[in-house]
Chains A and B, each alone.
Chain A
Amino acid sequence: MIDNSLIPIPSFILLVGAALTGVLHRRLRPYSVVAFAACTLILAWTLPNDAACRVGFLDHEIVLFQTDQLSRIFGTIFAFISVAGGIFGFHVTKGGEHAAALCYAAGAVGVTFAGDFISLFAFWELMAVASTYLVWARNTAESSRAGTRYLLVHLFGGTILLAGIILVVTETGSILLSAAGSAQGSGLWLILGGVALNAAIPPLHAWLTDAYPKATVAGAVFMSALTTKSAVYVLARLFPGWEILVILGTIMALYGVVYAVLANDIREILAYHIISQVGYMVAGIGIGTQLALNGAVAHAFSHILYKALLFMGAGVVLFATGKSKLTELGGLARSMPLTLWLYMIGAFSISGFPLFNGFISKSMVVAAAGESHLDAVYLLLTLASVGTFLHTGLKLPYFTWYSSDAGLAPGRVPRTMHGAMAIAAFFCILFGIAPGLLYDHLPFSTPYEPYTIPHLTESVQILVLTFVAFWMFRGKLAGESLLALDTDWFYRRSAEPTKRYILGTIEAVFDVAERTALLVVHRLVTLSANPVVLVNKSFSGKAFDPNRARPSLGVALGLLLLLVVIVVVLNLLHV
């Protein structure tokens, strides 16, 4: 084991890069982003397994950095996508956006290589704060509000995570990360909750589809790759084989599909499909067999490549036309053919077309479900992949590039944008054609062969018939200028109903109680002011006057006489 503090730490390189990029001349900034991301990529790739960097901190020894097969593959793809994202964002002039992107990448890479809970948490929060800036930097009223919501939700998730970490560390006495196995406890469940929020597991997912469509064009590319997949990494590190993840993952895979039918914004459709795709990874981690874990990791790797490519494609459309809603787009095939074809490579990949990288990774998770005799999971995940092709591969491109011509005149697109797309597209195809290049670096050496006749016939039939159904029902799929309620409703619109149903009821009860109390008091006051009213109604409403209220002499004599009569009668009866 190599163990010294002099090893350059990948996340620190990115942080230095962020600081430097912020102060560099405007024209040098994009080069700096790409250069520092590339250095990190080389480092993540070349560091030996089992390298570590430990630092003393309070009573603990912090493992800022530690490599194994799992962390290396995630660290590599995070650094790679930062290079591609940096090239894609070459046109960006704002130093803040460049610096935030690098800080964000530093957070994700830092989480990946962290060996203990304290450094993991620090990098976790860095990711939340830096990525918020990428939403705010869009500089619209909508993105400013969405960014604030995004930050608040992530700080809430971070707090849950921290609470869980404190409980676990107190219980076990160790801050080192290790798989939970069959251990249980409230601390672990809290950690799972905090990580599930970043992994966008419903109902904790709404921050993603709320913020990603409103982020900057280049920022969304980083966001599509880093937050959810770093959470997937932590799930794979801490919770492999937790059965609840199988159920949650399968629900996720279908949840995103349903909402993607209703979404109108192209980046919102893609965002819902992040949730759907992460569902496969979460389910794979839950299944927990070697094949399933390999599948989850391979799918995260593939997913980052094609999802970044898809977000780049949607970003180019937004950049060139200023529009991102299906209802405002259409007929761009003639003016933006290159963007269309590069986008379609991403779409074929995510849909699991043979020869593209989705085919060789998604099928591992599905096959693992079959191998573990989880028939329902197998079929539901296959159904989700029907939905993936339907939206990302058919609905979105059809209504953006074909359908009725919206008469848009797209502006010029920087070559670097298409260049970054081409790089991502190249790797989507490369790993599709030569899956061994990826399989060789997975955590386990379980053999898997994606190109078998049954798998190919299955995929061809599903894809072609999905297309046929799309073609028949395409009229139903056109975008609508409506929004679909999701769980962000609870923090965006719950004030009014909460007031009406909860506070309203309590208020009504208090109101009745208050009015009754006041009435009683009022009656008592009137009564004590003039108790004579009780016997003589003619006194009501008048103030008490002893002279008027005093009974006449006749009354006294009458009472005396009555008393005498009573005594006499009683005597007569008794004797």
Chain B
Amino acid sequence: MNQKTWSILGLLVVVSLVLETTLTYESDHWWDSIPAFYSLFGFIGCTAIILISKWLGKVLLQRREDYYD
């Protein structure tokens, strides 16, 4: 991952945040008033999926590959 790619991704987020705050549109949900909600949702959601699933695997689900043999 080089710097150029990161800059493009950063720019995309900035543009989407600017659009989100400048354009007013009819909002259906309470969370639409939280700034950058979907950025936080993506980051926290992804982290939570990784950590919780790994934790479940460790404490409950994972077995050796020959478990069923």
> Does B67 lie within 8 Å of A460, measured CB to CB?
no
Contacts of A481 in B (CB 8 A): 65
Give bound CA distance, A382 to B41, whole Å: 9
> Does B16 lie within 8 Å of A386, measured CB to CB?
no
Contact with B along A385-412 (1 / 0, CB 8 A): 0110010000000000000000000000
Give bound CA distance, A452 to B39, whole Å: 18
The residue that B49 contacts in the complex, of A378, A383, A465, A467, with Cβ under 8 A, is: A383
- A461 contacts B by Cβ under 8 Å: yes
The residue that A469 contacts in the complex, of B12, B28, B36, B50, with Cβ under 8 A, is: B50
Contacts of A476 in B (CB 8 A): 50-51, 54
> Does B42 lie within 8 Å of A482, measured CB to CB?
no
Give bound CA distance, A468 to B13, whole Å: 11
Contacts of B45 in A (CB 8 A): 382-383, 386-387, 462, 466
> Does A461 lie within 8 Å of B52, measured CB to CB?
no
> Does B63 lie within 8 Å of A483, measured CB to CB?
yes
Contacts of A261 in B (CB 8 A): 49-50, 53-54, 57
Chain A interface, number of residues (Cβ within 8 angstroms): 46
Closest chain A residue to B38 by CB distance? Answer: A461
- B29 contacts A by Cβ under 8 Å: yes
Contacts of B65 in A (CB 8 A): 481-483
Contact with A along B4-18 (1 / 0, CB 8 A): 000001001101110
Give bound CA distance, A387 to B16, whole Å: 21
> Does A465 lie within 8 Å of B13, measured CB to CB?
yes
Minimum CB–CB distance for A336 against chain B, Å: 21
> Does B28 lie within 8 Å of A370, measured CB to CB?
yes
The residue that A457 contacts in the complex, of B20, B53, B56, B62, with Cβ under 8 A, is: B20
> Does B53 lie within 8 Å of A460, measured CB to CB?
no
> Does A469 lie within 8 Å of B42, measured CB to CB?
yes
> Does A466 lie within 8 Å of B62, measured CB to CB?
no
Minimum CB–CB distance for B22 against chain A, Å: 10
> Does A469 lie within 8 Å of B29, measured CB to CB?
no
| With A386-B45, A461-B17, A466-B43: A370-B29 Cβ-Cβ less than 8 Å | yes
Residues on B lying within 8 angstroms of A by beta carbon are 1, 9, 12-13, 15-17, 19-20, 23, 25, 28-31, 36, 38-43, 45-47, 49-54, 56-57, 60-65, 67-68
Residues on A lying within 8 angstroms of B by beta carbon are 257-259, 261-262, 370-371, 375, 378-379, 382-383, 386-387, 390, 452-454, 456-458, 460-473, 476-477, 480-486, 492-493
